[in-house]
C-alpha cells in the first residue's frame, strides 16, 4: 500500500504536522478516507449537543463521496456550531463572526475544483451575518451553507437569537422575547437561494441525504438543520422528534420543488413543519458568469499570465 504525505497545519502545535494517509488500495485505486483520517481534535461541545450528529454526518459524507483531504474545505464564523472546522482534519477556517460566507465565496469563485461547505449558527447567519446571507444567496455562489439552528446564542451562554420564539426567556430578554423571529426558510427563498432544505440533527439519514443533495446542486444551497442546545434551550425541538413524542413529517411527495409560492407556503407551516427539499431551481451561478468573463478577457490577451493581466489593469487605472 502506498502513502501520500500531505502537510496539514496542526492547530495545537502551531506548526506543520505530517499526516500519512493511506491513499491506494491493492489494485492501485485511490481509497476513500476513513473517519479516523478526517477527524481532528475531540469536539469540545457539551455532551448531548445536536452539533455532534451534524459533524458525524459530515464525516460520513466525506467518506461516502470519497472527497480527498486536499478537496475538503470547511468554513465557519463564530459560535459553538462554528467551531466545526476545528474538528475536521483538512483545509478550513474558523473565520470572523458573521463573515463566513464572503470568505467562503472567495474560495468558491477561485477554486472551481472544490465544493465549499460552510457551517454556522442562527446568530452567526441571521444576526451579524444577515446581510451576507442575503447577498450570497442572490449571487447564487456555488457552496453549501448548513445553519445549525438551536434558536439561541449558545457560545455566549443564552441570549435571544433571531430565531428564538416569542416569549423565550434569555439573559437578554428575562421577561421573554418580544421580537418576532425570522423564518430562515422564507428568508432563503426570498433572498434568491436556488436550493433550500430543512432537516434535523435527530434524523441522521435525512441529514446525510440533504447534505448530498445540497453538494450536488450547482448554486447556493442552504440547509436549515435543527440542532438542539441541551445547555440553554433543552427540548426546543421535541415536537419534531418521534423519540420524544413529536412528529417528523417529510415534504409531501406531490410538492413541486420549482414552485416558489408552494415552497413559501411550506415554510410558513407551524412548528414542527415539514422536512426535506422545499425549493430547488437551476439558474446560472456567479461562478459560471465570472468564468465566462475571465475566458473572454484571456482570449484578448493571449500569452500573458494572470498576474500580468491584473498588472495591466492596475496600470490602466493610474
Ligand atoms: C463581532 C462579534 N460580535 C459578537 C461576538 C460574540 N458572539 C460570539 S458567538 C455569538 C453568537 C453565537 O450564536 P450562534 O451563531 O447561534 O451559534 P451557537 O453558539 O448557538 O452555535 C456572539 C454574539 C463576537 N465573537 N464577535
Ligand atoms: S452551549 Fe449549547 S450549542 Fe454550545 S456546545 Fe453546549 S449544547 Fe451545544
Ligand atoms: Mg445558535
Cis peptide before 263 (omega within 30 of 0): no
Residue 175 CA to ligand 1 centre (angstroms): 22
Whether the CB-CB separation of 304 and 158 falls below 8 Å is answered with no
More confident: 270 or 12: 270
Q: Strands of the chain (E only): list them.
A: 3-10, 15-22, 72-76, 91-94, 115-121, 143-149, 195-200, 220-226, 249-250, 274-280
Ligand sitting nearest the alpha carbon of 127? 1
Q: Tell me how crowded residue 32 is: count the other CB atoms within 10 A of its CB.
A: 15
For the whole prediction, is pTM greater than 0.85?
A: yes
Is the pLDDT assigned to residue 5 strictly greater than 70? no
Predicted confidence band of residue 115 (pLDDT cuts 50, 70, 90): very high
Is the pLDDT assigned to residue 16 strictly greater than 80? no
Residue 209 CA to ligand 3 centre (angstroms): 23
Residue 213 CA to ligand 1 centre (angstroms): 28
Average pLDDT of the chain, as a whole number: 91
Amino acid at each position: 500500500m502506498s502513502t501520500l504525505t500531505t502537510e496539514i497545519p496542526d492547530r495545537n502545535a502551531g506548526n506543520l504536522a505530517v499526516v500519512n494517509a493511506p491513499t491506494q488500495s491493492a489494485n492501485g485505486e485511490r481509497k476513500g478516507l476513513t473517519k479516523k483520517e478526517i477527524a481532528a481534535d475531540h469536539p469540545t461541545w457539551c455532551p448531548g449537543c445536536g452539533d455532534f450528529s451534524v459533524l458525524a454526518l459530515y464525516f460520513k459524507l466525506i467518506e461516502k463521496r470519497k472527497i480527498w483531504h486536499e478537496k475538503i474545505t470547511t468554513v465557519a464564523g463564530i459560535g459553538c456550531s462554528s467551531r466545526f472546522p476545528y474538528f475536521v482534519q483538512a483545509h478550513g477556517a474558523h473565520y470572523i463572526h458573521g463573515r463566513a460566507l464572503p470568505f467562503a465565496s472567495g474560495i468558491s469563485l477561485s477554486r472551481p475544483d472544490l465544493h465549499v461547505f460552510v457551517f454556522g449558527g442562527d446568530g452567526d447567519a441571521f444576526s451579524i451575518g444577515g446581510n451576507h446571507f442575503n447577498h450570497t444567496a442572490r449571487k447564487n455562489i456555488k457552496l453549501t451553507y448548513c445553519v445549525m439552528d438551536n434558536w439561541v446564542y449558545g457560545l455566549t451562554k443564552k441570549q435571544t437569537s433571531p430565531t428564538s420564539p416569542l416569549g423565550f426567556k434569555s439573559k437578554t430578554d428575562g421577561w421573554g422575547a418580544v421580537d418576532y423571529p425570522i423564518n430562515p426558510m422564507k428568508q432563503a427563498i426570498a433572498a434568491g437561494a436556488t436550493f433550500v432544505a430543512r432537516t434535523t440533527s435527530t434524523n441522521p439519514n435525512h441529514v446525510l441525504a440533504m447534505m448530498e443533495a445540497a453538494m450536488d446542486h450547482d448554486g447556493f444551497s442552504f440547509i436549515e438543520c435543527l440542532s438542539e442546545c441541551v445547555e440553554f434551550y433543552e427540548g426546543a425541538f421535541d415536537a419534531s422528534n418521534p423519540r420524544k413524542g413529536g412528529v417528523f413529517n417529510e415534504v409531501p411527495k406531490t410538492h413541486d420543488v420549482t414552485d416558489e409560492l408552494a415552497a413559501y407556503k411550506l415554510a410558513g407551516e407551524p412548528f414542527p413543519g415539514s422536512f426535506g427539499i422545499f425549493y430547488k431551481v437551476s439558474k446560472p451561478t456567479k461562478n459560471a458568469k465570472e468564468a465566462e468573463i475571465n475566458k473572454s478577457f484571456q482570449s484578448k490577451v493571449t500569452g500573458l499570465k494572470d498576474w500580468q493581466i491584473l498588472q495591466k489593469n492596475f496600470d490602466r487605472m493610474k
